[in-house]
Structure 1
Amino acid sequence: MFADMPEDVRRRMAYLEEIDARDRDDGTPRLERLRQVPPETGQFIALLSLTAPAGRHIEIGTSAGYSTLWLALACRRLGRRITTYEILPEKVRLAKETFERTGLSDVIELVEGDARDHIHGVSGISFCFLDAEKEVYKDCYDLVVPRMVSGGLLVADNAINHRDALQAMIEEALADPRVDAMVVPVGKGELVCRKR
């Protein structure tokens, strides 16, 4: 996918993949690690975002901007922008560097702060990628779903590898009459919800 991916983006993705692999092996403290999605998840969410109806694209949990790059490539094809939220200042710094080095800043709005403090003013969401601290998933789900357009997609990462921590939220989504939902075994597991 994205055979026409710009070389600057490929290089930055490879750089972030190296850091992420090293962080996982060398005992870097959890909050300091990038903890980004694997490439197959990046491709998956980009493909899904390309199918989203007209509306706003958002990401909750930017880290260093790896998944944002995949989504920004999709948004550029669609003539849309993505707004991404990150709470940790060091990750915000890394994400800004990522977006500047890849030339994708024109389709990315990076918001520093807790997404839960900002989403109240957002409407018309057509795509949301949720990859934040697991204890905020339910709050984010509850904020995003009512603000989604019909046919809009919410994708939540770690639905398999953090199933214990996310069990209640996943069960709620699977039973939610507002969405059609399922867990897809891509990467670390993706909860995919489509607004009815």
Structure 2
Amino acid sequence: MKELRIVNVLSEFDARLEAEHNQLKILTPEERVKHLDEMMLAVGWQTGQFLNMLLKAQGGKRILEIGTSIGYSTIWLAQAARENGGCVTTLECVASKQTQALENIRRAGLEDFVNFQLGDAVKLLENLPGTWDFVLLDLWKDLYIPCFDRFYEKLAPGAIVVADNITFPPDFRTIMKAYQEYVRAKSDLDSIEIDIGQGIELTRKEVY
């Protein structure tokens, strides 16, 4: 990523991301739950860059992000969508976070490549038409499987699904393992854990 306007917006979040990461390490699981809605919970620079390059290499145009937060990963995806001639549809349930995301996307000059949806992700997914070339899952972890079930049949051949927070925070590990086992049981999917950022599960639908 070399576009100064985009880099400047993303760079503003670096210190906050590092502070959040350090805070999550020392909080108890109960304390984490209390503060989650106040946090960015973003994927971080390394994972964002990986998503951006992966999407460009794949060439996907119909991109779905489940969990906008304040738009950090949305920016990485939208920049790739612009290059691919596509668009990101991003879902968020917290109105204040979506408002921040809208402003951040505008500042990055990428508003023409993002479609914002506000509401419960599971319900929104039931009515969103397919198909999807690329999906990023990064919301409440107990919703990963319910959300996956609602976009699975809408995945295009060769579609890629990335699930964040596979290894961190550690109190999510059990539920994330359940997600990994779930997607790996699908006969038409290949899936692997990648040690980048907070850990991701990278899944690809086979091309028949």
> Normalising by the residue count of structure 2, what TM-score does the alignment of the two structures yield?
0.86
| 2:13 counterpart SS class | helix
Change (3 A) 1:23 1:180: closer
Alignment-derived partner of residue 102 in structure 1: 108
| CA offsets 1:51-89 (integer angstroms, 9 cap, x no match) | 335551010001110101111111111011111111111
Alignment-derived partner of residue 174 in structure 1: 184
Of the three residues 30, 37, 48, the one matched with 2:43 is 37
| 2:101 counterpart SS class | helix
Alignment-derived partner of residue 46 in structure 1: 52
1:177, distance to aligned residue in structure 2 (A): 0.8
> Normalising by the residue count of structure 1, what TM-score does the alignment of the two structures yield?
0.91
1:6 aligns with 2:3: yes
Alignment-derived partner of residue 137 in structure 1: 144
Which whole-Å CA distance do the structure 1 matches of 2:55 and 2:147 have between them?
18
* Equivalent AA in structure 2 for residue 7 of structure 1: L
The answer on whether the counterparts of 2:41 and 2:69 sit within 8 Å (CA) in structure 1 is: yes
Which whole-Å CA distance do the structure 1 matches of 2:59 and 2:85 have between them?
12
The answer on whether the counterparts of 2:193 and 2:199 sit within 8 Å (CA) in structure 1 is: yes
* Equivalent AA in structure 2 for residue 158 of structure 1: N
Which whole-Å CA distance do the structure 1 matches of 2:117 and 2:99 have between them?
11
* Equivalent AA in structure 1 for residue 139 of structure 2: A
The answer on whether the counterparts of 1:24 and 1:33 sit within 8 Å (CA) in structure 2 is: no
* Equivalent AA in structure 1 for residue 7 of structure 2: R
Alignment-derived partner of residue 67 in structure 1: 73
1:24, distance to aligned residue in structure 2 (A): 4.5
The answer on whether the counterparts of 1:53 and 1:152 sit within 8 Å (CA) in structure 2 is: no
Which whole-Å CA distance do the structure 1 matches of 2:157 and 2:95 have between them?
34
1:193 aligns with 2:203: yes
Q: How many residues align?
A: 193
The answer on whether the counterparts of 1:55 and 1:124 sit within 8 Å (CA) in structure 2 is: no
Backbone CA RMSD of aligned residues = 1.7
Which whole-Å CA distance do the structure 2 matches of 1:11 and 1:57 have between them?
24
Of the three residues 119, 132, 142, the one matched with 1:125 is 132
Of the three residues 97, 110, 115, the one matched with 2:121 is 115
* Equivalent AA in structure 2 for residue 19 of structure 1: R
| CA offsets 1:92-131 (integer angstroms, 9 cap, x no match) | 1110110111110011111111222222232110000000
